[in-house]
Structure 1
Amino acid sequence: MESAIILILALILIGNVRQLKKVRPLVLLCLVAVGFTVGIVVNQSGGPVAAVDQTKTQLVKILRTLNKKNVRQANKNDSLKAKLTSKAQELGVSLDEQETTPQTSDDDLAKLTYQGQQIITVNNNQPGFSQADLSTARGAWQHYGDLDSLNRATQADALLNQSLMPKTKRERLTVNPTGWHNKLISSGWLYNRSHLIGYQLTGQNNNWKNLITATRSLNDPAMVKYEDQVADYLKASPNHYVRYSVRPVFWGNELLARGVQMRAQSVGDNSVVYNVYIFNIQPGVSLNYADGTSRVN
C-alpha cells in the first residue's frame, strides 16, 4: 500500500512541476516524508482514496504557500535592487558586473573589442592610487607626459584643487593632434580635439601634451560626464583635492587612440572614485585607427 501511495504522490508532484521548480530540495524531501506518513495512515485507516485526496490537498496548499513566499521575496529583491541602483547613480558608479575588466596595461586595453557598451569599468572601478599618490603635501599640481616618437600624447596626471581651475573663458583650439582627419557627419563634426585633463579642471588649452583626436561621443558626453563629477566636487570646497590620471590607449603605431582610461580619487573620502575605459568610437562610422580616416556606414 505504501508503494501505491508514493506512486500517486509522485504523479501529483509531476502535475505541479512548474511550481516545483521553485521549491528547494529540502522541501521536496519533506513532501516525500509526507507521502510515507500518509501511507502509514492508510494502512491504519483502510481508506486510500480519502488519504490521497487529503494528501493532494495538503501538497497543493504547501506549494501555493511556498510560491507566495517566493513572490514576496522577489518583490523585496526588486525593491532593494532599485534602491541600490539609485544610490549607485548618485555616486556615479555602475552595478553592472559584466562590464568590468581587470586589465590595466595599454596593450590589454587596446585589445578590447567594442561590444556596444562605450564605457566599461577597470579593476572593479578602483583607481588604485597609493597613499603617496594621494598626498597633498606639495599642494595642487599637474604634469603632462612628453609626446612619444609619433608625436602622440602619452599621459596626464594631477592633484586637482580649486586653485588650478581657470577663471577665464577658453580660447579657440588650434592644435591638430595625431589622427586628425575631421569631417561632417549627420550628427555634426566627427572628431573633437579632446583634452586629457579637461580645460575646466586646469585651464590647459592648446597644449600638445594634453590633446588627442577623439570622436564626439568619446569627448562629450562620455569624458565630460566624469570631468563634471570632479569639477562639482572641487567647487564645493577649496579644501577638496582629487588625484586624477588620464591616458590615451594606442595600439602599436596607430595615430588614433583606441580609447581613454580615466582614473580619479577624492582625497580623504570616496565622494569621487572611478576607473573607467571609454572606447573611441562613433555610432554609424567605421574608423581607421592607423591614421584617423573614416567611413560612414
Structure 2
Amino acid sequence: MSNFISTIGTLVLLAGIIVAGYWAYGLAKRRKTGHAGRTALILVVVGFIFAGVGGSNSSQHTAKNSDSQKAALVNKKSSHKKAATHVKRKAATRPSTIKKAAHHSAQHRGVLAKLVSYTNRESAGPNGDYYFTNGKAKLHGFSGMSAGSYHFAADSQGRPTTAKAVLTYSEFAASKGSRQGDPLEPVGWPAENPIVAINFGLTGRTYHGYLYNRSHSIGDSLLGKKSYASSNNFTTGTRPQNVGADQDGGMRAAEETVENYWDSHPGTKRTVCYETTPVYNGSEEIPRGSIVDIKASDGSINSEIVVLNDVEGIKINYNNASSNAKPYVKRRNTQPKQTTRTPSVVHHATTTQSGAATKNGQWTVAASGKVYVSQSNKYYTEVKNPGNYTYESRSAAIAAGATQAARGNEYARP
C-alpha cells in the first residue's frame, strides 16, 4: 500500500511541475494562463504530501523487517547457545561411553607393551612368579550387573575377551572341596600339548608336566559351576600362567586375593567385582597375558593384577601355540626285582604291602600316611601321573617344607 501511495504522489508532483512550466511559459509570452499557477502549486504540494506518506510507511516497514530479522538472529544465536550449554552439561553429568572405551583401550595398550617385552624375553616378570600389580582396579561395564551375575565375551576373531562377574561368598562356599565342571577348550588350543620340564628361577625347582592348561579367566573356586558356562571363560595358558612358579602366582595370585577375602569374611553379603581381560598382540590367537581387576564392595580390595603368559627358557609362538620346548622323557625305574621265597603253606587271603599305592580308575591313591609331593612342594593323596611326583610319608613331606594343596585339579586331588 505504501508503494502505491508513493507512486500516486510522484505522478501528481510530476503533473504539478508540468502545469508550473505551462504557467511560466504563458507569463513569458504574456498570455493569459488563468488559474494555471495556482493549480500547479496545489499539485506540487499534494504530490509532496503523497510521496512523503508513502516513503514514511515504506521506511517503517523496512525498519520493522530489519527489527524482525535482528530479533530472529538474536533468538537463533540464543538457541544455539542454549543447545551448546545443554550439550556441555550433558557431557559433564554423563561421560561419553566412547571416551571411556578409548581410555580403557589406551590403558590396555600400555600393559600390552610390558607383556610383549616380558614374554619376548621369556621372563617370569618382576617378581619371578608370573604376575605383577598395576595400581587400582579399572573396572567397566558393571553398572547393570547385580550379585551373582556374570558375562563372558569374544571378539570378531572368536578369541575370548572380557570375562566379568559380581562374585558372592555363597558361590565360593559351594565350590569348596572339588571342581564344579570340566575345563572347556579355548580358541588357540594346540593340537599337541607336550610334557615338558620347566625350571623356575624363583623356587629353584623343576616342573614336569603339560606345557599348556585350559586356564580359567574367572576361576572355579570363585564362580563355581558358572565358570564352565562358556569357552570364552578359558584361554590357552602356560602352566606358569595358571599357577605361577610356586602354585600361588600367575592367575592363582588374583584368585587367592578373593579367596582370602572370603575366608576372612565368612557368610558376608558383600560382593566382589572381578574382571579378567586377556590381552593379545595384534591378531595372535594366544594372549600375551591377562589383566585382572578386582574391587570389593567395601573397598578393602581395589587392585589390578597383570598375569604373564609365557615360560622361562621356552620360546612360544603366540599364533599357533607351538614352541621350542623339548619333550620331557621320564627315565625308567631300574630298581632290581625283588625275589620271594615260596611258602610251604599257601594261604588264600592276600595282603597288601604296607605303604603301597592303589588304583581307582585313572587315579593312583596314596596309602594311609603317604602323599604325592609336586615340584612346587604341594602334596596330594590322589594323582593321575604318579611319576611326576615324589611319593613319601606325609610327615617327611611336611618336615621338608611341603604343604597340602588347597584345591585339586584335573591331575591331582588333595
Q: Could you say which residue in structure 1 is the equivalent of 2:160?
A: 153
Q: Could you say which residue in structure 2 is the equivalent of 1:121?
A: 133
Structure whose alpha-carbon radius of gyration is higher? 2
Q: Could you say which residue in structure 2 is the equivalent of 1:293?
A: 322
What is the rounded CA distance, in whole Å, between the counterparts of 1:175 and 1:251 in structure 2? 23
1:216 to 220, 235, 239: 239
2:312 to 276, 283, 289: 283
Q: Could you say which residue in structure 1 is the equivalent of 2:260?
A: 232
Correspondence 1:251-270 to 2 at 5 A: 251-270=281-300
- Contact between 1:215 and 1:281, CA under 8 Å: does it hold in 2? yes
Correspondence 1:1-297 to 2 at 5 A: 105-112=107-114, 113-114=117-118, 116=123, 117=125, 118-122=130-134, 125-129=135-139, 133=142, 138-145=146-153, 147-165=154-172, 167=174, 169-170=178-179, 173=182, 175-181=184-190, 182-186=193-197, 187=207, 188-203=209-224, 204-205=227-228, 207-220=230-243, 221-235=249-263, 236-237=265-266, 238-270=268-300, 272-296=301-325
1:103–1:143: structure 2 CA closer, same or farther, 3 Å change rule? closer
| Aligned alpha-carbon RMSD (Å) | 2.7
Q: For structure 1, which runs of at least 5 residues remain unmatched after alignment?
A: 1-101
Could you give the per-residue CA deviations for residues 246-287 of structure 1, whole angstroms, max 9, x where no partner exists? 0100111111101100111111232x2221211111112100
1:231–1:127: structure 2 CA closer, same or farther, 3 Å change rule? same
- Contact between 1:148 and 1:154, CA under 8 Å: does it hold in 2? yes
TM-score of the superposition, structure 1-length normalised?
0.57
- Contact between 2:152 and 2:230, CA under 8 Å: does it hold in 1? no
- Contact between 2:315 and 2:323, CA under 8 Å: does it hold in 1? yes
- Contact between 1:159 and 1:241, CA under 8 Å: does it hold in 2? yes
1:121 Cα offset (Å): 2.8
1:106–1:232: structure 2 CA closer, same or farther, 3 Å change rule? same
What is the rounded CA distance, in whole Å, between the counterparts of 1:227 and 1:134 in structure 2? 23
What is the rounded CA distance, in whole Å, between the counterparts of 1:256 and 1:265 in structure 2? 27
Higher relative contact order, chain-length normalized (CA < 8 Å, sep 6+): 1
What is the rounded CA distance, in whole Å, between the counterparts of 2:273 and 2:136 in structure 1? 13
Q: How many residues align?
A: 190
Q: Could you say which residue in structure 2 is the equivalent of 1:66?
A: none
What is the rounded CA distance, in whole Å, between the counterparts of 2:231 and 2:187 in structure 1? 10
What is the rounded CA distance, in whole Å, between the counterparts of 1:143 and 1:257 in structure 2? 19
1:126–1:103: structure 2 CA closer, same or farther, 3 Å change rule? farther
Q: For structure 2, which runs of at least 5 residues remain unmatched after alignment?
A: 1-103, 198-206, 244-248, 327-414
1:290 Cα offset (Å): 1.1
Secondary structure, aligned partner of 1:276: strand
1:120 Cα offset (Å): 2.8
What is the rounded CA distance, in whole Å, between the counterparts of 1:246 and 1:129 in structure 2? 10
Q: Could you say which residue in structure 2 is the equivalent of 1:77?
A: none
User: What amino acid sits opposite 1:211 in the alignment?
Assistant: F
User: What amino acid sits opposite 2:279 in the alignment?
Assistant: V
Q: Could you say which residue in structure 2 is the equivalent of 1:32?
A: none
What is the rounded CA distance, in whole Å, between the counterparts of 2:147 and 2:184 in structure 1? 30
What is the rounded CA distance, in whole Å, between the counterparts of 1:243 and 1:148 in structure 2? 22
What is the rounded CA distance, in whole Å, between the counterparts of 2:110 and 2:262 in structure 1? 32
Secondary structure, aligned partner of 1:159: strand
User: What amino acid sits opposite 2:136 in the alignment?
Assistant: Q
What is the rounded CA distance, in whole Å, between the counterparts of 1:171 and 1:191 in structure 2? 21
